[in-house]
Structure 1
């Protein structure tokens, strides 16, 4: 007589569950990274105003680690100087500086603006509650 043995195979259902959870995590993290938003905590001000005209603006951001950004892309002081030098004098420069950034970093940007005789800029703050 011939006996057939049934061996238990590898149960891959839990493995697939784990892989799907990992895939969901990777996709959600990559979507977050793709937005590329720079996290800064703006200083609070009672006289803060929101500007509505987004055309003809250049945004310069200084984060808490004193890294400079032009329009959400990391930039050196030389790149910022070149960009401001190439700007039309009517273009508004928005300055956003994290409240924990060094004041020296902020002053460096103001000095660049003054040296290029560009006086059309705004200092962006958060409305105090």
Structure 2
């Protein structure tokens, strides 16, 4: 039988610290999963149309920090260019740009589409109420 000296027991403080860190990680990951998309505050337009339901389309997003995304995954401008160059000319490209992002970021995407002679794209906006 193991005897512990008096006034000494199991120290559970490190265990509690680890559990709190794991809880914080789970909560932060579950928040992203619940939203399931990149936060982009779209500009408002009086004549915004709903997105078409074509099977294959490429979504290019720019958030307020001017970070580019391809189908909700972070991408560099070169990766965006490569993705557009490999597309079929008939495939739809959807552009989402945060209203607080630099206009230059949006122009860079348009420039890539022009360079690839890709004209089948639509700009996603939010309907003005």
TM-score, normalisation: structure 1: 0.78
Provide the aligned C-alpha RMSD in A: 2.5
Computing the radius of gyration from Cα coordinates, the structure with the larger value is 1
Alpha-carbon distance in structure 2 between the residues aligned to 1:61 and 1:38: 8
Q: State the match for 2:113 in structure 1.
A: 113
Q: Is 2:69–2:75's contact at 8 Å kept on the other side of the alignment?
A: yes
Q: Which stretch shows the higher mean deviation, 98-107 or 29-38?
A: 29-38
1:80 aligned counterpart, secondary structure: helix
Matched, 1:44 2:44: yes
Between 27-36 and 110-119, report the one with greater CA deviation.
Answer: 27-36
How far apart in 2 are the matches of 1:83 and 1:30?
28
Within-5 A mapping of 1:6-85? 26-34=25-33, 36-85=36-85
* Bigger mean CA offset, 22-31 vs 92-101: 22-31
**Tell me, which stretches of 5 or more residues in structure 2 are unaligned?**
1-8, 10-14
Aligned positions, number: 121
Q: Which residue of 1 aligns with 2:5?
A: none
| Structure 1: 5+ residue stretches without partners | 1-9, 11-15
User: How far has the Cα of 1:27 moved from its partner?
Assistant: 2.9
Q: Deviations over 1:53-106 (max 9, x none)?
A: 141210000000111100011111111111111000110000000000111110
